[in-house]
Structure 1
Amino acid sequence: MTERTGRCLCGSVSFKLTAEPVATRICWCRDCQHLAANGTVNLMVPADALSVSGTLAEHAKTADSGNTVTRMFCPQCGTHVMARSSARPQFRVLRAGNLDDPSSIQPTANIWAVSAPAWACLDDTLERVERGPQPPPPAGPANPPR
């Protein structure tokens, strides 16, 4: 396991991740497009393996999935750092661009591909999921984190 660190644009908020991501995907939902003007690369990580230094502001919204997604961002520079979903409170979704070494991860799928604009460059070697992905299996002896 590699420990990963990251921060917002101004450095007021930093984080440390001490577990491997459960999933790493490029999201093309309209909310992510509004946040980044493009698809966003996200890591789904266990909430208890993530520590945050600094203060985060929050904004909650009902997503296309029907879940309430609370996005957390730096109140100083506005960088969107992470999110949590009402459907999976045991996880956080980190923005890969905030990692100190974003090359340390590799996306495996494009999700919400149906919402991608016609000009989007979707990697054909990645799994394509038209809408929201299935939830990850619960971790345990039969299903270790992937």
Structure 2
Amino acid sequence: MTHRTASCDCGQLSITVEGEPRGVGVCHCLSCQRRTGSIFATLAGFRGAWSMSGRATEYVRTGDQGAKFRFRFCPVCGSNVFHTEEGFEDRSVSISVGSFADPTFPPPSDSVYDSRRHPWVGLPETVQVWDKDPD
């Protein structure tokens, strides 16, 4: 089985997952823009077990539909590496695609909160676009 490891910029915090991502998407919500310091977040979701190495600082945010998301970032370099949804930590994890530092990583298939996408950002025609979060 394929193992993938993502890490922060300084290498202190890392996460390892097995298998291929269940999905890759971009999120244009204002919270992700602030959280990443970019104009969108690019995330890969994985099912099943994951293991973390190093120390993480955590921040919990409540989403639009009431779910609580626990974001983990490096207390040394500040990189935002991954997050889980409370109640689903053992079944699913979402990892910042940039943390894999792999230009061959699969491209996104979905774009959520597209209503907040900066107008000069283009997406591949194959990406399914959602005005808000479809969940």
| Structure 1 partner of 2:72 | 72
Q: Structure 1 residue 118: deviation in Å? A: 2.4
8 A contact 1:62–1:69 mirrored in 2: yes
Q: Alpha carbon RMSD of aligned pairs, Å?
A: 1.8
The structure whose residues are more often strand, as a share, is 2
| Structure 2 partner of 1:106 | 107
Q: Tell me the TM-score normalized by structure 2.
A: 0.87
Deviations 1:40-89 (A, max 9, x none): 110111241x2111011100111223211111100111100111123644
**Sequence identity of aligned pairs in percent?**
26
8 A contact 1:25–1:43 mirrored in 2: yes
Q: Tell me the TM-score normalized by structure 1.
A: 0.81
Q: Quickly say closer, same or farther: Cα 1:100–1:119, change in 2 above 3 A.
A: closer
Query: SS in structure 1 opposite 2:126?
Result: coil
Aligned residues: 133
Does 2:1 align with 1:17? no
8 A contact 1:4–1:100 mirrored in 2: no
2: CA distance between counterparts of 1:121 and 1:88? 32
Structure 1, unpaired ranges of 5+: 135-146
8 A contact 1:28–1:113 mirrored in 2: yes
| Structure 2 partner of 1:139 | none
